[in-house]
Amino acid sequence: MTRLSRRRVRAIFTKDLREFRRNRSLTVGMGIIPILFSIQPLITVLTLSSSASSALRHEHVLLYMLGIPALVPALVAAYSIVGERQQGTLEPVLTTPVRRDELLLGKALAALVPSVAVAYLVFGFFLACVELFAAPSVAPAVIRVPDLLAQLVFTPLLAGWSIWAAMLISTRANDVRVAQQLAMVASLPSVAVIVLVALNFIPASLVTAAVAAAALLLLNRIGLRLVSATFDRERLITGSK
């Protein structure tokens, strides 16, 4: 396999990050999804009395927050290729020596880094709110070490899978909005699994976590290969073939 150029990956990463930061529709989307995903659990937890905290023992409230890394990167990654195509910037980039995998890796990292950062930040904010404002016995019932570890491990794994799925859609789509909507739909199965685990329909155990992590690692690997195989310069430039 040809060696990838870190410098070119970094150039794509920096450029995309800057583009995302200055694109208002993307920043608004990146802000709204975490609010939607944190507000409901926050209200539930903060309105619970100490006596009702035992009900939380059978739930994993923190895991709801994994919806953020499942959905936020999908929004950004879905934009990354079709967005460039629509604004006519893809062709000049493809005339440079950048290799397909360098371009894809740079773009994936540019979607991953802010999404994971947002997910961890919102999670930290949630924990701080629970610690500071929840009834005394609620915080220990909500904040459990295995759930914290799950959050830490599954945030990048879920984000990675969402990114590859969204980029796969982005290489085939002709419109940014359509790509983003399809990417959101593609992320829903992940969200459904998270909700089932959070509600204890799927038992949260070390085995479940190991299987889920292995499955996500595999999906990430397959995702990269699939996006790489689907990325066809000719079709992206001419719209034909």
Partner 1 sequence: MSADHLSKRFGGRIAFDDVTFEVGRGEVFGFLGPNGAGKTTTVRALGTLIAPSSGSATVAGIALEPENGVEIRRRISVMPESPGLYLRHSVVENLECFAELYEISEPADRVERALAAVNLADRAHDACGTLSKGLRQRVALARALLNDPEVLFLDEPTSGLDPVAAREVHELIDGLRRRGVTIFLTTHRLEEAERLCDRVAILNTTLRMIGRPDDLRDRLFTKTLSVKVRDPLAEPDRVFAGLPGVDGWRQDGPGGYLLGVSDTNLAAPAAVRALVATGADVLSISEARHSLEDVYLKLIDDEAVGR
Binding site for partner 1 (CB under 8 A): 5, 7-8, 10-12, 14-15, 18-19, 22-23, 87-99, 233-234, 237-238, 240-241
* 80 Cβ contact list (under 8 Å, min separation 6): 16, 107, 110, 111, 166, 167, 170
34 within 8 A of 72, measured Cβ to Cβ: yes
50 within 8 A of 137, measured Cβ to Cβ: yes
- Minimum CB separation from partner 1 for residue 77, in Å? 18
- Minimum CB separation from partner 1 for residue 235, in Å? 9
Name which of 91 and 131 has its Cβ closer to partner 1.
Answer: 91
Residue 188 vs residues 38, 43, 165, 221: alpha-carbon distances, Å: 17, 23, 11, 20
Name which of 81 and 130 has its Cβ closer to partner 1.
Answer: 81
Distance CA 154, CA 156 (A): 6
Name which of 57 and 241 has its Cβ closer to partner 1.
Answer: 241
Distance CA 171, CA 48 (A): 46
- Minimum CB separation from partner 1 for residue 106, in Å? 10
- Minimum CB separation from partner 1 for residue 86, in Å? 11
Name which of 163 and 236 has its Cβ closer to partner 1.
Answer: 236
